């Protein structure tokens, strides 16, 4: 197994595990009275991220890995874990507002309003660059930016209603 295949396999397994965690957390939040907003754009987010990963499997499985860029990607994974751990059972891939719950203001949320999105923006660019695919990184970064422009606006409106 090449390093590229190992990295792609680990990222794939990580994303699948996160989808399972997100699904469990979403169910719990909804059971506690949470309200989902922005469900209409959710399939586009899932499709975009799936296309990014599938495309990397097609284009990068046999490419060399740049150690510096891969190190940065590993650091981003640590930040991702920090974000997920900070939100705990409130972390999900959907936007679910929980009435009466205070906004999280600890961990990376002390510094950024949307640290998870900052990590995702960086990941979408860094991993393809680690495989020597800067044009791929640019294309998906632009697509992701368009999606986040919609998503962050929807999420901010939902969070503003809670405060």
Two tokens at 159?
């969070």
Closest to 145 in 3D by CA, of 59, 69, 70, 45? 45
What pLDDT score does 159 carry? 86
What pLDDT score does 74 carry? 98
Closest to 4 in 3D by CA, of 56, 50, 41? 56
pLDDT one-digit tens code per residue, 10-66? 999 999 999 999 999 999 999 999 999 999 999 999 999 999 999 999 999 999 999
What pLDDT score does 1 carry? 86
Read off the pTM: 0.94
119 CB neighbour count, 10 Å cutoff: 23
Binned at pLDDT 50, 70 and 90, residue 163 comes out as low
What pLDDT score does 85 carry? 98
Question: What percent of the chain is predicted at pLDDT more than 70?
Answer: 99
- Give dist(CA 108, CA 116) in Å, integer: 9
Q: Give whole-number Cα distances, 108 to 45, 73, 80, 97, 163, in Å.
A: 23, 17, 10, 19, 20
Please report which residue ranges of the chain form alpha helices under DSSP H. 3-31, 42-60, 67-87, 115-130, 134-162
Binned at pLDDT 50, 70 and 90, residue 162 comes out as confident
Domains for the chain: give ranges and CATH numbers: 3-162 (1.20.120.1630)
pLDDT one-digit tens code per residue, 72-111? 999 999 999 999 999 999 999 999 999 989 999 999 999 9
């Amino acid at each position: 197994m090449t390093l590229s295949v190992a990295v792609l396999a680990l990222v794939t397994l990580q994303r699948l595990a996160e989808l399972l965690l997100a699904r469990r957390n979403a169910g719990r939040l909804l059971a506690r009275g949470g309200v989902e907003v922005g469900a209409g754009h959710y399939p586009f987010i899932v499709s975009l991220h799936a296309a990014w990963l599938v495309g990397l499997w097609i284009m990068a499985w046999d490419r060399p890995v740049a150690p510096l860029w891969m190190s940065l990607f590993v650091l981003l994974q640590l930040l991702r874990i920090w974000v997920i751990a900070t939100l705990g059972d409130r972390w999900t891939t959907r936007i679910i507002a929980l009435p009466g719950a205070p906004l999280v203001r600890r961990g990376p949320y002390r510094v950024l309003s949307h640290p998870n999105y900052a990590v995702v923006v960086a990941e979408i660019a860094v991993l393809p660059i680690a495989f020597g695919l800067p044009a791929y990184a640019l294309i998906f970064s632009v697509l992701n930016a368009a999606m986040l422009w919609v998503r962050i606006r929807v999420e901010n409106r939902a969070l503003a209603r809670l405060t």
